């Protein structure tokens, strides 16, 4: 082709290209991994950062929202590790096995790798890449959509993460909690995790993301999750980044036959958040619940983009996403259910609701159904609206002050999504977090 | 001292005047019935007392326990002892009935400077009251009014009233949609609460309810004003003759 192409690179794009060039030699992995990184980087070099004319990124224009690319984070020093000790406090009442990553690097002394349950294997990604762990060779990069630029950047620059295998038939009672925490330095991290849950195994996986309020750090996290036949997996992601942070994360999952799979995302932090879920229902007879609750205020921007791809027959999926928006916050939900020709008897229902607490908040809902099979039950619904004044008056007429009445109604609104979580302790922790958010809002109201 | 004093009250909704100079005095311990044809302003009176937003007083005064009612928000009025039993109680999905009841009771107690009720005390009280009103424990486990029949919603209003122990209860067409058995249960619930310090304003279109909740004073409301006041026999008279003569009077 002889076409002359002029690509105008943004400062962030140029910085990312430089970061890759400089880091390439010291990033972990053998030649095959390096080739994988380069191929991924080529996708980015060709496409640039996604912008509003790219349909899947229409509402989250990274060229605009990501003015600059921060330098790759250096390994955490002692101070950074110390400050990370209180990370994940929101879930302190849950007895989980914690794997802590500070600035994208696994920190053994903050993690709990003692006495692993039988059937459970856990390794840091950097180590697994360095010694060609066969689990990686078989699975890494097989699920996450290679053409997605966020995923491509993650693959090109992935440094560390968790590599977890749960052997066939093993039930891991203690939830596994991946704690990702940013220290005070303003940097970018690219963490990549791989979780393989073999057939008939059972596990609960929590990932939480947090960092300091005053730093505009950047996080790009991706997790590839393989759910074997008849396995039961719960995945929970808590995005509690600092107020100025940019967070892009991806869950790519392949779910086998007759499995149970639940995913829940709780988003309350971060200046810009893009949460992507790519789910493939590869085996028949699986039941899945995909839910999320988002609470944003100020100028926060939070985008949930979901693709539920029904490939095999007889699967049931329920998608429920609730967003509460205050001030000038901007919420986005893009949900696509695809039913492939062989996925007969698919039963998929998606509901997204936005509750606008301010006239200046904006919610964009884009539900889509693409159905190629003829014997299915699919549906979607989307609503956006303010609190119901009649209901509020009823509560106030019984003596409940306005802020408290609103708080009750907001909790009820989010409850529909949060109550779908099977783990009681986690449900309570999330409702407590919602209550704290509402309290902070009430104090502002009274001020 | 009168518990409720309404003087020359004018109220508009969306610029349309509904109450046109209403006067009413309710003393402690009295039960007043307000009867009138549809559109006379009965529900408007109920809502303006409870403090609903769209109901704008444009003239006149309302003193509740000596204080200007219009200086108070709906929750402040409730804490001061005002209670409105809604004609159409709201369904609030996701808010558990017990949470709602406890939040309301404790919010009122807090505002009055009283201690919050402990959980066992609260549960005991709700159990006792719901038992007398024939409200099944299963209903209390549901969200507020969600899946309740019309009669169950009305009984739930009376349960709230009994729990909150107001100084003045305004019952807005509490009899509408009730069969005779439900009507009796509701009336008994109200009668149990009659006390020298507590007053009631019973708003109704029909005399039927007043056979069970016997009023001290009956008023006829027509075209936004009280046009006649009498004893309980006035209700029977209205039942026999209808509202026609009062509507003509108001139109004249």
CA-CA-CA-CA torsion sign (B76, B79, B83, B84): positive
Closest alpha carbon to A156 in A17, A363, A318, A310: A17
Cβ atoms within 10 Å, residue A311: 19
Query: Is B163's Cβ below 8 Å from some Cβ in A?
Result: no
Render each residue's pLDDT in chain B as its tens digit; 252 residues: 699 999 999 999 999 999 999 999 999 999 999 999 888 999 999 999 999 999 999 999 999 999 999 999 999 999 999 999 999 999 998 899 999 999 999 999 999 999 999 999 999 999 999 999 989 989 899 999 999 998 899 999 999 999 999 999 999 999 988 889 889 999 999 999 999 999 999 999 888 999 999 999 999 999 999 999 999 999 988 888 888 888 765 554
Facing residue for A399 by CB, picked from B90, B99, B164: B164
Alpha-carbon span A396 to B104, nearest angstrom: 8
Cα three-residue angle A95-A98-A102, rounded to 5 degrees: 145
Longest CA pairwise span in chain B (Å): 59
- Beta strands at B2-13 and B143-144: parallel, antiparallel or unpaired: unpaired
Q: Tell me which chain B residue has its CA closest to the CA of residue A412.
A: B94
Averaged pLDDT of chain B: 93
Alpha-carbon span A411 to A425, nearest angstrom: 17
Which residues of chain A does B160 touch, with a Cβ-Cβ cutoff of 8 Å?
398
Which string of b and e fits B44-53 if b means at least 16 CB within 10 Å? bbbbbbbbbe
Cβ <8 Å between B108 and A399: yes
Residue with tokens 């609190």: A387
What six digits make up the tokens of A98? 């914690």
Cβ atoms within 10 Å, residue A292: 27
Query: Is A445's Cβ below 8 Å from some Cβ in B?
Result: no
pLDDT attached to residue A2: 46
Alpha-carbon span A287 to A263, nearest angstrom: 12
Number of structural domains (chain B) is: 1
What size, in residues, is chain B?
Answer: 252
Element (DSSP H or E) covering residue A31: helix A31-47
Task: Write out pLDDT tens, residues A89-123.
Answer: 899 899 999 999 999 999 999 999 999 999 999 99
pLDDT attached to residue B251: 55
Under DSSP, is residue A109 helix (H, G, I), strand (E, B) or coil? helix
Which residues of chain B does A408 touch, with a Cβ-Cβ cutoff of 8 Å?
95, 99-100, 103
What six digits make up the tokens of A105? 């690097």
Under DSSP, is residue B39 helix (H, G, I), strand (E, B) or coil? coil
pLDDT attached to residue A8: 67
Cα three-residue angle A55-A227-A346, rounded to 5 degrees: 60
What six digits make up the tokens of B32? 């007043």
Alpha-carbon span B55 to B72, nearest angstrom: 14
**Inter-helix orientation angle A402-418/B97-111, to 10°:** 160
Looking at residue A93, what DSSP letter applies?
Answer: T
Averaged pLDDT of chain A: 94
What six digits make up the tokens of A288? 């899945």
Strand partners for A53? none
pLDDT attached to residue A419: 87
Q: Is B236 exposed, middle or buried (0-12, 13-18, 19+ CB in 10 A)?
A: middle
φ, ψ of residue A315 to 5 degrees: the values are: -100, 150
Task: Write out pLDDT tens, residues B105-139.
Answer: 999 999 999 999 999 999 999 999 999 998 998 98
Task: Write out pLDDT tens, residues A241-273.
Answer: 999 999 999 999 999 999 999 999 999 999 999
pLDDT attached to residue A447: 32
Cβ atoms within 10 Å, residue B229: 13
What six digits make up the tokens of A422? 């099977």
pLDDT attached to residue A1: 46
Strand partners for A442? none
Size of interface A-B (CB pairs under 8 A): 76
Closest alpha carbon to A360 in A330, A385, A324: A330
Compute CA distances B79 → A338, A396, B113, B225, whole Å. Answer: 54, 10, 10, 28
Alpha-carbon span B205 to B37, nearest angstrom: 7
- Beta strands at A301-310 and A202-210: parallel, antiparallel or unpaired: unpaired
pLDDT attached to residue A444: 47
CATH of the domain at B175: 3.40.50.300
Cβ <8 Å between B90 and A400: no
Task: Write out pLDDT tens, residues B2-38.
Answer: 999 999 999 999 999 999 999 999 999 999 999 998 8
Q: What is the pTM of this model?
A: 0.90
Alpha-carbon span A343 to A323, nearest angstrom: 30
Residue with tokens 């804490």: B79
Q: With contact defined as beta carbons under 8 Å apart, do A303 and A276 qualify? A: no
**Sites in chain A below the pLDDT cut of 50:** 1-4, 6, 443-447
Distance of CA B95 to the CA centre of its chain: 23
pLDDT attached to residue B243: 86
pLDDT attached to residue A303: 98
Query: Is B194's Cβ below 8 Å from some Cβ in A?
Result: no
Q: With contact defined as beta carbons under 8 Å apart, do A183 and A83 qualify? A: yes
pLDDT attached to residue B110: 94
Mutation to test the A interface, candidates B92, B116, B158, most A Cβ within 10 Å: B92
pLDDT attached to residue A439: 87
SS3 content of chain B, % helix, strand, coil (to 5): 40, 30, 30
pLDDT attached to residue B102: 96
pLDDT attached to residue A420: 85
Which residues of chain A does B83 touch, with a Cβ-Cβ cutoff of 8 Å?
397
Cβ <8 Å between A394 and B92: yes
Element (DSSP H or E) covering residue A444: helix A424-446
Task: Write out pLDDT tens, residues A282-337.
Answer: 999 999 999 999 999 999 999 999 999 999 999 999 999 999 999 999 999 999 99
B82-85 β-sheet, strand order:
B82-85, B168-172, B199-204, B31-35, B217-222, B225-230
Alpha-carbon span B48 to B19, nearest angstrom: 10
Domain ranges of chain A: 75-394, 395-447
Rg (CA), chain A: 21
Query: Is B78's Cβ below 8 Å from some Cβ in A?
Result: yes
């Amino acid at each position: 082709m002889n076409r002359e192409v002029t690509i105008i690179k943004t400062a962030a794009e140029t910085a990312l290209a430089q970061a890759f060039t400089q880091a390439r030699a010291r990033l972990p992995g053998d030649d095959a991994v390096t080739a994988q990184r380069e191929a991924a980087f080529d996708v980015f070099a060709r496409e640039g950062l996604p912008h509003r004319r790219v349909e899947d990124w229409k509402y989250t224009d990274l060229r605009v929202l990501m003015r600059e690319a921060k330098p790759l984070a250096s390994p955490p020093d002692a101070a950074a590790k110390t400050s990370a000790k209180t990370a994940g406090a929101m879930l302190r009442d849950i007895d989980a096995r914690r794997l802590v990553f500070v600035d994208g690097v696994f920190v053994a002394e903050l993690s709990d790798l003692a006495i692993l349950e039988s059937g459970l294997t856990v390794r840091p990604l950097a180590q697994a890449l360095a010694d060609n762990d066969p689990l990686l060779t078989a699975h890494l990069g097989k699920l996450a959509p290679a053409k997605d630029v966020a995923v491509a950047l993650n693959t090109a620059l992935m440094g560390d993460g968790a590599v977890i295998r749960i052997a066939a038939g093993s039930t891991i009672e203690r939830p596994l909690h991946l704690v990702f925490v940013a220290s005070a330095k303003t940097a970018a991290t690219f963490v990549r995790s791989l979780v393989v849950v073999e057939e008939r195994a059972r596990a609960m996986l929590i990932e939480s993301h947090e960092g300091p309020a005053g730093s505009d750090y950047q996080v790009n996290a991706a997790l590839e999750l393989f759910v074997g036949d008849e396995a039961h997996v719960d995945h929970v992601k808590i995005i509690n980044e600092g107020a100025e942070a940019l967070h892009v994360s991806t869950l790519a999952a392949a779910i086998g036959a007759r499995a149970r799979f639940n995913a829940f995302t709780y988003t309350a932090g971060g200046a810009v958040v893009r949460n992507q879920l790519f789910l493939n229902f590869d085996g028949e007879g699986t039941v899945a619940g995909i839910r999320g609750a988002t609470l944003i205020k100020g100028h926060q921007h939070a985008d949930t983009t979901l693709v539920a791809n029904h490939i095999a027959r007889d699967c049931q999926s329920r998608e429920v996403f609730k967003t509460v928006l205050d001030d000038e916050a901007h919420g986005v939900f893009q949900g696509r259910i695809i039913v492939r020709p062989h996925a007969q008897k698919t039963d998929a229902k998606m509901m997204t609701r936005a509750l606008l607490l301010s006239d200046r908040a904006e919610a964009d809902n884009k539900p889509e159904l693409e159905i190629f099979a003829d014997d299915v039950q699919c549906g979607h619904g989307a609503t956006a609206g303010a609190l119901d004044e009649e209901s509020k008056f009823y509560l106030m007429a019984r003596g409940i002050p306005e802020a408290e009445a609103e708080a009750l109604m907001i909790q009820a609104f989010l409850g529909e999504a949060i109550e779908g979580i099977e783990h009681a302790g986690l449900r309570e922790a999330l409702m407590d977090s919602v209550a704290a958010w509402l309290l902070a809002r009430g104090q502002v109201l009274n001020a | 001292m009168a518990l409720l004093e309404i003087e020359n009250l004018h109220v508009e909704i969306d610029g349309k005047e509904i109450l046109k100079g209403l006067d009413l005095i309710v003393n402690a311990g009295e039960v007043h019935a307000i009867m009138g044809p549809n559109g006379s302003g009965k529900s408007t009176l109920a809502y303006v007392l409870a403090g609903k937003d769209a109901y704008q007083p444009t003239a006149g005064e309302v003193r509740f326990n000596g204080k200007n009612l219009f200086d108070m928000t709906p929750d402040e009025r409730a804490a001061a002892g005002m209670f409105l039993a809604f004609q159409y109680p709201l369904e609030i999905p996701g808010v558990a009935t017990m949470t709602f009841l406890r939040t309301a009771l404790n919010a009122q107690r807090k505002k009055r400077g009283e201690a919050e009720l402990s959980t066992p005390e609260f549960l005991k009280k709700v159990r006792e009251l719901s038992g007398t009103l024939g409200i099944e424990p299963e209903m209390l486990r549901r969200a507020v009014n969600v899946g309740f029949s019309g009669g169950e919603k009305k009984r739930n209003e009376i349960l709230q009233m009994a729990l909150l122990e107001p100084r003045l209860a305004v019952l807005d067409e509490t009899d509408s949609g009730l069969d005779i058995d439900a009507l009796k249960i509701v009336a008994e619930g109200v009668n149990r609460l009659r006390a020298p310090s507590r007053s009631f304003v019973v708003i109704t279109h029909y005399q039927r309810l007043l056979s069970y909740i016997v009023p001290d004073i009956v008023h006829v409301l027509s075209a936004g004003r009280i046009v006649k006041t009498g004893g309980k026999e006035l209700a029977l008279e209205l039942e026999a003759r209808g509202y026609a003569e009062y509507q003509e009077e108001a139109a004249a």
